[in-house]
C-alpha cells in the first residue's frame, strides 16, 4: 500500500492545491474541496470459523456530493489506512467530474486480508460493513462498488444485507454485481478497455500507429488483463508485465521479447493476478525484480497496480524510448516524478482520466439497475468508448490551448466543474 512515509491523501491534496492556485479559487471553495465532507469509522465484529470473535476496522469517506450521489469502491487490504481511503474518495470526485457523469466521490475500506479468511468470514465482514453504514449509503446518496480484493460476490452479499435491512429491492444501491443479478455486461472489461481507449487517442495525437508500439505493464489484475487484451487487438505488443507474489510477499516482472501471450499467461495466474514463476520460466519468460517493468525499452508504460510506484527516485530510469504513460492505477505517480516525466517530454494520460472507464460503466450499471432494463454488451462498450474519448479530447485540447501538463489540464476541468456545482448550490 505504502512505501515508508508515503501518504496518499497528502499527495492528493498537493495535486489539488497546485491547480487551486492555477484557477485562483477562493478560500471557501478550497476548504470545501480539499477535505472530505463526511467520513465514517466503525468496527465490524466477526464470529470466526474457529469459534473466536475478531473485530475488523472499516471506513467510508464521502468526499463531495455536489454533482450527485457519492460513488466509489470498497477495498479489503491488510494495510488499508483512512488516509488512502480519503485520497481515493477525492480522486473519485475528480474522476466522475472529468468524464462528466452526475456522481460525486466516495471510497471505503476494511483492514483485512481476504487471502487468510474463509468465504464465510468474508461474507460476515460484508454484511457487517453494510449494517454499520445502512443509514448513510444507498442508491440516491452513496453507491459502493468492488475495488482491491473485493468481487461481484462481495457486492451481492452487501446488496442482500442492505435489502434485508430496508425491506425492499434496491439493485441500484451497489455496482459491480454479477451479471444476471443486476450487474452490467462490459463491467469487467470497462476499466482496462477505458485505459486503452485513451491510449488509442493519445497515439493518434502523437501520430503513432498502435501496431508499431510495444508496452510494459505493472500489475496483472483485472485492469491490466483487459487492457492487454484490447491493446493487442489494436496490434500492439506487450513485452513485460509485473505481478505480486503472495508467497514471497513481493512483486516480480515477467519479460518475453517475443511478446506476452495473454490467454497462455492466464492459465498460470491465480484469481488475485499472481503469476506462477516456475511455469512462466518454462514458457520462456525472464523473471526479473518487481520494478523492472519501469525501465523497459518500450513505447508505452501502463502502471496498473498500486499508488506511489513512479517516484522521484526511479522516474529518471525510464527509457528515453518511452513516449506515453497511461495510468491504469490510482495515484501511481508521485508529484516529484511528474516534473521528471514532463521534462522528458513523455505524454501522460493521468489516472483519473485513464482509469475512469470503471466508474463510467458503474454509472451505466446504476442507470440500468434503477430503470430495471439492461443493455447489450456492445451497447455498453460503445457508450463507454464515446464517454472516454470525449473526456480525453476535452483534456488534451485544454492542455494544448493553455500549454498545460495533461494531469493539470484534467484537474482544471474536473475541479472547475465541482467548484461550480458547489457555487450553484450556494455552499460557497
Residue 7 covered by a domain: no
Residue 19 covered by a domain: no
Specify the residue for cell string 476496522. Answer: 57
Annotate 23-40 with DSSP letters as a single string: HT--HHHHHHHHS-SEEE
Pair 219, 242 in one domain: yes
Q: Is the pLDDT of residue 345 over 60?
A: yes
Pair 128, 239 in one domain: no
Per-residue pLDDT tens over the stretch 27-58: 999 999 999 999 999 999 999 999 999 999 99
Element (H, E) at 390: helix 377-402
Per-residue pLDDT tens over the stretch 270-327: 877 889 999 999 999 999 999 999 999 999 999 999 888 999 999 999 999 999 999 9
Residue 58 covered by a domain: yes
Determine the average pLDDT of the residues in 356-374: 95
Question: 124 and 46 in contact (C-beta within 8 Å)?
Answer: yes
Catalytic-residue membership of 387: no
- Helices (H), ranges, 206-284: 222-233, 262-266, 277-282
Element (H, E) at 327: none
Question: 300 and 326 in contact (C-beta within 8 Å)?
Answer: yes
Q: Using CA of residue 113, residue 119, residue 124, residue 129, what is the dihedral sign?
A: positive
Question: 353 and 333 in contact (C-beta within 8 Å)?
Answer: no
Pair 212, 332 in one domain: yes
pLDDT of amino acid 248: 83
What average pLDDT does the structure give for the chain? 95
Pair 396, 428 in one domain: yes
Residue 328 covered by a domain: yes
What cell was used for 69? 450521489
Specify the residue for cell string 491547480. Answer: 19
If one counts the domains in the chain, the total is: 2
Residue 299 covered by a domain: yes
Pair 171, 254 in one domain: no
What cell was used for 96? 466522475
Pair 189, 142 in one domain: no
CA trace torsion 240, 246, 250, 251 (10° rounding): 10
Which CATH number does the domain housing residue 399 bear?
Answer: 3.40.50.720
pLDDT of amino acid 271: 78
pLDDT of amino acid 1: 42
Element (H, E) at 14: helix 8-23
Residue 353 covered by a domain: yes
Determine the average pLDDT of the residues in 241-252: 88
Pair 244, 171 in one domain: no
**Cα–Cα–Cα angle for 313, 316, 318, rounded to 5 degrees:** 115
SS3 201: helix
Q: Using CA of residue 164, residue 167, residue 170, residue 171, what is the dihedral sign?
A: positive
Pair 113, 225 in one domain: no
Q: Please report, rounded to a whole number, the percentage of residues in the chain having pLDDT higher than 70.
A: 99
Q: Is the pLDDT of residue 4 over 70?
A: no
CA trace torsion 104, 389, 196, 368 (10° rounding): 50
Residue 27 covered by a domain: no
Determine the average pLDDT of the residues in 201-214: 98
60: Cα within 13 Å, side-chain hemisphere: 25
Residue that terminates a domain, selected from 152, 181, 210: 181
Annotate 70-87 with DSSP letters as a single string: EEEEEEEETT--HHHHHH
Residue 305 covered by a domain: yes
Pair 140, 190 in one domain: no
Pair 79, 207 in one domain: no
Question: 406 and 347 in contact (C-beta within 8 Å)?
Answer: yes
Pair 114, 154 in one domain: yes
pLDDT of amino acid 340: 96
Residue that terminates a domain, selected from 135, 166, 181: 181
pTM: 0.91
Nearest to residue 412, comparing CAs of 16, 13, 71? 16
Among the listed residues 67, 107, 177, 237, the single catalytic one is 107
Which CATH number does the domain housing residue 54 bear?
Answer: 3.40.50.10860
pLDDT of amino acid 2: 43
Residue that terminates a domain, selected from 131, 163, 181: 181
Pair 218, 363 in one domain: yes
Pairing verdict, β 70-77 and 142-146: parallel
Q: Is the pLDDT of residue 344 over 50?
A: yes
Question: 34 and 28 in contact (C-beta within 8 Å)?
Answer: no
Determine the average pLDDT of the residues in 216-220: 96
Please give the residue range of the domain that contains residue 337.
Answer: 184-428
Q: How confident is the model at residue 339 (pLDDT cuts 50, 70, 90)?
A: very high
Amino acid at each position: 500500500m505504502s512505501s515508508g512515509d508515503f501518504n496518499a491523501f497528502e499527495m492528493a491534496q498537493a495535486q489539488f492545491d497546485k491547480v487551486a492556485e492555477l484557477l485562483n479559487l477562493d478560500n471557501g471553495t478550497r476548504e470545501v474541496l480539499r477535505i472530505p465532507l463526511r467520513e465514517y469509522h466503525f468496527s465490524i465484529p466477526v464470529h470466526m470459523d474457529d469459534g473466536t470473535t475478531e473485530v475488523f476496522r472499516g471506513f467510508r469517506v464521502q468526499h463531495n456530493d455536489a454533482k450527485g450521489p457519492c460513488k466509489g469502491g470498497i477495498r479489503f487490504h491488510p494495510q488499508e489506512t483512512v488516509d488512502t481511503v480519503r485520497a481515493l474518495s477525492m480522486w473519485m470526485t475528480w474522476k466522475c467530474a472529468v468524464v462528466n457523469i452526475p456522481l460525486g466521490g466516495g471510497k471505503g475500506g476494511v483492514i483485512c486480508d481476504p487471502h487468510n479468511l474463509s468465504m464465510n468470514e468474508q461474507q460476515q465482514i460484508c454484511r457487517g460493513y453494510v449494517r454499520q453504514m445502512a443509514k448513510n449509503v444507498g442508491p440516491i446518496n452513496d453507491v459502493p462498488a468492488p475495488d482491491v480484493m473485493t468481487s461481484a460476490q462481495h457486492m451481492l452479499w452487501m446488496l442482500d444485507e442492505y435489502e434485508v435491512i430496508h425491506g425492499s429491492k434496491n439493485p441500484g444501491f451497489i455496482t459491480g454485481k454479477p451479471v444476471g443479478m443486476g450487474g452490467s455486461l462490459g463491467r469487467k472489461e470497462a476499466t482496462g478497455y477505458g485505459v486503452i481507449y485513451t491510449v488509442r487517442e493519445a497515439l493518434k495525437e502523437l501520430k503513432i500507429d498502435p501496431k508499431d508500439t510495444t508496452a510494459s505493464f505493472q500489475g496483472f489484475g483485472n485492469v491490466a488483463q483487459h487492457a492487454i487484451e484490447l491493446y493487442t487487438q489494436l496490434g500492439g505488443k506487450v513485452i513485460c508485465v509485473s505481478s505480486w507474489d503472495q508467497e514471497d510477499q513481493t512483486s516480480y516482472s515477467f519479460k518475453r521479447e517475443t511478446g506476452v501471450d495473454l490467454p497462455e499467461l492466464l492459465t498460470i495466474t491465480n484469481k488475485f493476478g499472481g503469476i506462477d514463476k516456475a511455469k512462466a520460466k518454462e514458457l520462456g519468460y525472464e523473471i526479473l525484480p518487481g520494478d523492472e517493468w519501469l525501465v523497459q525499452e518500450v513505447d508505452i508504460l501502463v502502471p496498473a497496480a498500486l499508488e506511489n510506484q513512479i517516484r522521484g527516485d526511479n522516474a529518471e530510469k525510464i527509457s528515453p524510448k518511452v513516449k506515453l504513460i497511461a495510468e491504469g492505477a490510482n495515484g501511481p505517480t508521485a508529484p516529484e516524478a511528474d516534473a521528471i516525466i514532463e521534462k522528458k517530454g513523455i505524454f501522460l494520460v493521468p489516472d483519473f482520466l485513464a482509469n475512469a472507464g470503471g466508474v463510467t460503466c458503474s454509472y451505466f450499471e446504476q442507470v440500468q439497475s434503477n430503470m430495471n432494463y439492461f443493455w447489450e454488451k456492445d451497447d455498453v462498450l460503445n457508450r463507454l468508448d464515446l464517454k472516454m474519448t470525449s473526456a480525453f479530447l476535452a483534456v488534451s485540447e485544454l492542455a494544448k490551448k493553455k500549454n498545460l501538463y495533461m494531469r493539470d489540464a484534467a484537474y482544471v476541468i474536473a475541479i472547475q466543474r465541482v467548484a461550480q456545482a458547489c457555487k450553484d448550490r450556494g455552499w460557497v
